[in-house]
Amino acid sequence: MTDLTSFVRGLPKAELHLHIEGSLEPELMVRLAERNGVSIPFGSVEEVRAAYSFTKLQDFLDIYYQGANVLREQRDFHDLAAAYFDRAAADGVVHAEIFFDPQTHTDRGIRFATVIEGLLSAMAEAEDKHGLTSKLILCFLRHLDEDAAFATLEAAEPWLDRIAGVGLDSSEVGHPPEKFARVFAKARDKGLKIVAHAGEEGPPEYVHQALEILKIDRLDHGNRSLEDPVLTAHLARTGMTLTVCPLSNLKLCVIDDMTQHPIDRMLRTGLRATINSDDPAYFGGYVVDNYLAAAEARGLDRDDIVTLARNSFLGSFLDDETVAAHCARLDAYVAANA
């Protein structure tokens, strides 16, 4: 392990953009397919991996929703999340705010309770086993209609005290944030935090809508905000957190090459950028791999890396006191590893 790799691995950090269904490794997919008697169109783990070649978001989503088919029982959702938390803990993640896509499962006849109880049990275990805390963010699938999102929010009602916020994911172009104005207003009224994927493939206008109509507390991806200098300055001035996902950007061709990644530009323009893994089983790496890929390609120094980790706590939905405690631990780590 190089010095930088071990420094980044040991650096306390939060992960703020992680789709739990996107952490389904091919090995677990094959095992769950067997355990549940679900047929998948792949003969082996190698065949699953070989299918992970994408030119745009939709290529990935097609295969991601297919993969999620093997998740049927509460223990499947538990095992999925437990595997993620083990890997995250090994990467120095001390807090994770994870997305789940209930509609991917309820539309296949899986009960909302099955999904969330499986996830919650793994979250409790991760805190005991690794000291890793976590929060849940329920994402609405934007390719479905707003009525379906309302039905999902209603299904979530018994668990709202264990859900930190709601988000918006899936096919971005053609499904602008304004399509979900009313359901996000209702979620806000219920005291939920608001996040949305915007500006990954969609134009800066979608980021404007996420800010002004959905009233987001955090912006997922947000890369294309940089095309609009006034928007960029607004995001910087208001301290909006961006959950940036470098390996995802590369695999989904948001950038052609990691050397073109805008992470350093984001930092220099004063944006509160963070580094995250998005769908690590599909995009070739967990959070440390994302820090290292971006750092190497864009020449980030240790101070930049520490800023990114600090931003992950500042941008989290933890209370101020807990954020301060995490930042103090981060400072102590940096001082001890200077």
Residues with active-site annotation: 200
Q: Verify binding: residue 208, ligand HPA, rule CB under 6 A.
A: no
Q: Verify binding: residue 278, ligand HPA, rule CB under 6 A.
A: yes
Cβ-based nearer residue to ligand HPA, 79 or 220: 220
Cβ-based nearer residue to ligand HPA, 81 or 330: 81
Find all residues with CB under 8 Å of 84, minimum gap 6, and list them.
18, 20, 23, 96, 98, 280
Q: Are 312 and 281 in contact (CB under 8 A)?
A: no
Nearest distance from C-beta of residue 194 to ligand HPA, angstroms = 16
Cβ-based nearer residue to ligand HPA, 266 or 334: 266
Q: Distance between CA atoms of 60 and 251, rounded to whole angstroms? A: 9
Q: Distance between CA atoms of 90 and 240, rounded to whole angstroms? A: 28
Nearest distance from C-beta of residue 116 to ligand HPA, angstroms = 18
Angle in degrees, 0-180, between the axes of helices 3-10 and 287-298, rounded to the nearest 10? 130
Q: Scan residues 11-70 and list those touching ligand HPA (CB under 6 A).
A: 19, 22, 57
Nearest distance from C-beta of residue 233 to ligand HPA, angstroms = 25
Selection from Zn ion, ligand HPA, none that 57 binds (CB < 5 to 8 A by kind) is: ligand HPA
**Beta strands across the sheet bearing 272-275:** 13-19, 93-100, 133-141, 165-169, 193-198, 218-221, 241-244, 272-275
Selection from ligand HPA, Zn ion, none that 204 binds (CB < 5 to 8 A by kind) is: none
Angle in degrees, 0-180, between the axes of helices 74-90 and 26-36, rounded to the nearest 10? 160
Cβ-based nearer residue to ligand HPA, 251 or 310: 251
Number of residues that bind ligand HPA (CB under 6 A): 10
Q: Applying CB under 6 A, which of residues 87, 105, 175, 197 lies at the interface with ligand HPA?
A: 197
Q: Verify binding: residue 79, Zn ion, rule CB under 5 A.
A: no
Q: Applying CB under 6 A, which of residues 248, 277, 290, 311 lies at the interface with ligand HPA?
A: 248
Q: Verify binding: residue 97, ligand HPA, rule CB under 6 A.
A: no
Q: Verify binding: residue 279, ligand HPA, rule CB under 6 A.
A: yes
Angle among Cα 136, 131, 194 to the nearest 5 degrees reads 20
Q: Scan residues 227-286 and list those touching Zn ion (CB under 5 A).
A: 278
Region of 270 on the Ramachandran plot (φ > 0 left; ψ -120 to 50 alpha; else beta)? left
Torsion 20-22-26-29 (CA) sign:
positive
Q: Are 176 and 209 in contact (CB under 8 A)?
A: yes
Name the amino acid, one letter, at 281: A
Q: Verify binding: residue 172, Zn ion, rule CB under 5 A.
A: no
The residues that bridge with 166 in the sheet, in sequence order, are 138, 194
Q: Scan residues 140-169 and list those touching ligand HPA (CB under 6 A).
A: 169
Selection from ligand HPA, Zn ion, none that 79 binds (CB < 5 to 8 A by kind) is: none
Q: Verify binding: residue 21, Zn ion, rule CB under 5 A.
A: no
Cβ-based nearer residue to ligand HPA, 17 or 193: 17
Q: Are 205 and 237 in contact (CB under 8 A)?
A: no
The footprint of ligand HPA (CB under 6 A) covers 19, 22, 57, 169-170, 197, 200, 248, 278-279
The footprint of Zn ion (CB under 5 A) covers 278
